[in-house]
Copies of this chain bind each other. A is one copy, B any other.
Amino acid sequence: MKKINTQLVAKQQGRILLAAKNCFFKNGLTKTTMRDIATEADISLGNIYRYFENKNSLIRAFIEKDNQEIDRAFALLDDANNFKTLLEYIIKEFISELSRKAEMCIYLEALVLGLRDGDVLSLLKLDNSEQSLKTSLQKASKDKRIELIVSAELAALIIMGFVEKAAVKCIADPKYSVRKANKQFKQCLKTLLR
On A, residues with C-beta under 8 Å from B are 1, 28, 30, 42, 101, 104-105, 108-109, 111-112, 114-116, 121, 124, 126-127, 130, 149-151, 153-154, 157-158, 160-166, 168-169, 171-173, 176, 184, 187-188, 191-192
- Copies of this chain, complex-wide, total 4
Sample of 14 further A-B pairs with CB below 8 A, known A151-B187, A160-B165: A1-B42, A105-B115, A112-B112, A127-B165, A127-B168, A127-B172, A130-B169, A150-B191, A154-B188, A157-B162, A157-B166, A157-B169, A158-B158, A158-B165
Please determine whether B169 and A165 come into contact, CB atoms closer than 8 angstroms.
no
CA distance A95 to B121 in the complex (A): 20
CA distance A189 to B151 in the complex (A): 13
